[in-house]
Structure 1
Amino acid sequence: MLPSTGDRTMPMPPHKVGIVVDQGFGDRVAELARVFHVWVVQSRENTPVIQGVWKSGLADAAVDPLSVGVTSFAAHEGESPEAMCARIADTVDEHHGEFSHDPPWSEIEVFGVSLTPNLRLVFEELGATACTPTQQGFVCRRL
């Protein structure tokens, strides 16, 4: 008979994801992509950096290709950063959530838009239990 571990479970390692809705984020994309996976809006300044990260093979060399690297997404014409963030949040959850990634995301950091009541609600609906403003946007955590 195997020894029982009781009801104790090992804590899941954190899985952080970023969302960048700032079309002028530029070179900072590459810095973030080395630390966690980041979803970045395509733009004149962001797209060349996104392509550089892809060419570097950063995600291909990682044990978990969704732990680092970049995924890009297009902005809709006239879309505000808040609307863009609300729209892409569900897609990020779809790719990094409990049905797609083990462990599922534990933290999503957003760059380029302030935390609004609407965005708080969007992330709470995805399971966030705490959302905190930052200088560049906000962080939502699932505890």
Structure 2
Amino acid sequence: MKSVALILDPEFGQRVESVAREMPVWVLASRSNDPAIEHARSLFGGHDITSFFPPRTGDRKATSAQALYDIDEHHGELSSSHPYEELLIFGAAPADVSPEAMEELGLEPAGARKDAFVLRKRDGADYTTR
């Protein structure tokens, strides 16, 4: 199963490296995360480590929605022969994630890990328009 990590914690820091060892990572840009992102990119040749800035509103749901759409655009069925099937979201609670984006992208809650919660693509879910 192909997984992608979304890190919304601005203080995630050096933990980026351990997550990037397992899967592609999208990381919220911040003073704490930026050096860790650059370090992880140097270790892994820059592959599959993407940083992003939150929208100007600073709203966590808007930030999550933007990231979900971007991840789906880059790792979904329209752009990958092996599209992602689940997202692991670090540094946020399920209530921080846009329910509208989840619905539109065919994502549903699928449990939690010690440090993240999981969203999984519904069978047959296909993002075609936004």
TM-score grouping bracket, smaller chain normalisation: 0.7 to 0.9
What is the Cα deviation at residue 92 of structure 1? 0.4
Residue 100 of structure 1: how far off its partner (Å)? 0.8
TM-score w.r.t. the length of structure 2 is 0.81
What's the counterpart of residue 27 of structure 1?
Answer: 14
What runs of 5+ residues in structure 2 fail to find an aligned partner? Answer: 124-130
Three-state SS of the structure 2 residue aligned to 1:40 is strand
Tell me the residue number matched to 1:37. Answer: 24
Confirm or deny: 8 A CA contact 2:64 2:97 kept in the other structure: no
Other-structure match for 1:105: 84
Over 3 Å counting, the alpha-carbon distance change for 1:118 and 1:26 in structure 2 is closer
- Percent identity over the alignment? 32
Q: What do the CA deviations read for 1:107-141 (whole angstroms, capped 9, x no partner)? A: 0111122112962332231122x314535452111
In structure 2, how many angstroms separate the alpha carbons of the residues matched to 1:86 and 1:137?
A: 17
Which secondary structure does the structure 2 equivalent of 1:87 belong to? helix
Deviating 4+ runs (over 6 angstroms): none
Q: Map 1:1-143; keep pairs closer than 5 Å.
A: 14-56=1-43, 58-59=44-45, 65=47, 69-116=48-95, 119-128=98-107, 130-132=108-110, 134=112, 136-142=115-121, 143=123
**Structure 1: gaps (5+ residues):** 1-13
- Whichever residue aligns with residue 17 of structure 2, its letter is A
Q: Is the 8 A contact 1:108 1:139 kept in 2?
A: yes
Between the two proteins, the alignment pairs up a number of residues equal to 121
Within 1, Cα distance between the matches of 2:57 and 2:116?
A: 20
- In structure 2, the CA distance between the partners of 1:72 and 1:131, relative to structure 1 (3 Å rule), is same
Closer, same or farther: CA 121–133 of 1 in aligned 2, 3 Å: farther
Higher Rg of the two aligned structures: 1
Report the 3-state secondary structure (helix = DSSP H, G, I; strand = E; otherwise coil) of the residue aligned with 1:116. helix
Q: TM-score, normalised by structure 1?
A: 0.74
Deviation at 1:59, TM superposition (A): 5.0
